Structure 1
Amino acid sequence: MATNPTEEALHAAIVETIHRARHPLTTEEITRALARPARDPDTRRALRQLVTLGILHSCPRHRYWDRDEVQVHLEHARGLIAKKPMTRAQLTQALGRLGTGASKSWRERIFNQLKEEVGVYVWPRVGVYRSDRLSTRPPELELYLKKARREFAVVSKRLEGVGVSRLALLEALVGEGGLPQPGLREPPGPASQPETVRPPRARPAPTGEADLDFQREVAEELVFAWQDAEVEAARQSLSRILVNLGAERLGAVGEEVSFDGTVHRSADDLFPGDPARIVEPGWTMIRSGRARLLAKAEVTDAGSA
C-alpha cells in the first residue's frame, strides 16, 4: 500500500494511465506516459504494489493492464467461434487483431484453453480443413456423413444385387455380427426357424461427441427401419441392435398413459393429460446424461375403448 502522499499520487497516476490504454503497457511506456516525471524503479515498485492489491494485472513480457489479458482474449475468442468454427491458426490470427501485443505462441495457447471449456465443441478435421476447429455448436454431422452416405448407398446397391438386404448391411455397420454369405437372402419371416438370441456384445465407450452423434444418427435410421418392418423377426433383430446401441423402449404395447405430445403421437384428437393407450412403443437414447428422443410412442384414445 502507498505509505505517503507522493506514493499515493504515483499510484493514482499509474492507474489512470493504464486505464486509458487499449492494451497492456511496459514499465517504460507507463513512465513515459505519466504527466509528472517518475523514475523507472519507483514505477516498478508501485506496479508491484498495485498488482499485489489486485488493482492491476501482470501480463507476459513485463506488461501491466487493468484487465485480465487471458480473460479478454478468451471472451473475444468465444465470440469469434460463436459466429463460425475456427482452426487454431484462424483463431490465433484473429486474436492478433485485438492489438494487445500478446505473442503468437501465447495466443495459440488460448485455443488449448478454450478447447477445455464446457460448451465448446471440437469439430474434427474434414474436407479442406486439415486441423480441428472449435465452435459453440456441436459438429454439423452432414459434413462428416455426406461421404459415408454416398459410399453406403453404393455398397448397399451392389450387395442387394447378390441378395444382401439393407437391413443386413446396417447390422454389420453397427457391429452386430458379420455380413451373410453372398447369394443368401433373408429368411421370409415367421415360417423360418426362430433366431437364436445372442447376448449383447460389449462395445467400446465412445471417444468423443462426434462418436455419440454418429451413434444417435445410426439409431435413428434403425428406428425408421424398425417402424417400417412388416416381419416380426426383422423387428426383433432391429430391437436387439438398438438395445446394444444404448437405446431404450419408450412404453409398452397396451400400457395406459396420460397423453403427452412431447413423447406421444396419435391420430386421435387428444389433449395433454387425456387417457391414452400405447399401440407402438417409442424409442429414446441416453448419452452423457442427456436424453435424445428417437421416435415418439404411438397412442390411441383410451377413453373411447
Structure 2
Amino acid sequence: MRDTGGLKSRSAGRRRSALAVVGAVIGLLALPALAVVGGVSCLIPDHDIQVLTTDVNRYPVRFVEGIPLSDEARCACSETSCECPMAPLTSVPPFLDPDDPAYQFCICGENRVDTNRLPGVTLYVEDQDEVDGEADDPLRAAALLDWDPTLGDTAVDYVAYRNYLDPREILALYYTPFETSVLKRPRPYVRAITLSDLEGFDLCNGAGRPVGPGFHTLSIITSDRLWFKRETQVSETGSESMEVVQEGVPDIAAGATYDVQTYVFKCLEEGDDFCKCADTTEP
C-alpha cells in the first residue's frame, strides 16, 4: 500500500512556494507604481524654466573695424544721415608698405626723433557680455613686438610699447551710433585701444627696447579675463612662492577668450634714403 500522506504534504509545500514567488513578483511590479504615485507632487515641469549662469563667458572678445563705403551705400542705410551703423575705421593697414612715404619709419639716434612716425593708431574691440545693460567683461590689451606664436614662446617676453599701451589697464568703452543702432545682434560694447602719446606713435624708437633695421611685426592681443598667473619660487628651498602675472598671456583655464591683430612694418637706419630724423629740440 502506497503512502500518500507524504505526497500530499510535498504537493502542498510546492503550492505554497509557488504562491510565495508569485506574490513577490507582484510586489516588485507594484513598487514602481507606488513610487510614481507617491512622487507625483515632486515632479518638476520641463518648460518655463529660466536658468541664470554667472560663470559662463558667453561672447568672445574680437577686433572690429568699419569698411569704406560709397556715398550710395551709406545713404542706403539712412536717407537722413547717410551713415551706416558700424565700427569706426582703423587708420592703418595690416602691412605698412615701406614704399609708401607714410610708412617709411626710421631708427634715430639719441636725442633725435622720427618726424615721420605715425600720428597715432586707434583699434577697436568688442565684447557683448553684459549684466543689467552694462558691459560685464573688463578687457585688457598688450602690444607684442616680433612675437611668433608658432615658436611656442610665451608672449610675456615680447611685451613692448608700454608707454603707449599698459597691459594692466582696463580698456575704456567707446561710444558711437554703432552701439545702439546695430540690428539683429546684441549690443557690441566697443572698446578703444589707443596707441599714441602727445607726439604720435613711434614704432622704431618707442618700443622700450632696441629695434633693429628691417621688417618687424606688431601684434596687439586682447583678452576678457585677467592675464594668466603662475607660481614662482622665491626661496632656494622652494618653501616660498609668489604669483607672477604673465602679461599678454590669456588665462584660458579661467574661461578667457582672446583675439590678435598683427601688423608688419619696416625700420630704416638713420642715413638711409627717406629717413627723416630730427633733433628733439627742433620745432
TM-score range, shorter chain: under 0.3
TM-score under structure 1 length normalisation = 0.22
- The structure showing larger relative contact order (alpha-carbon pairs under 8 Å, at least 6 residues apart) is 2
1 or 2, which has the higher helix percentage?
1
TM-score under structure 2 length normalisation = 0.23
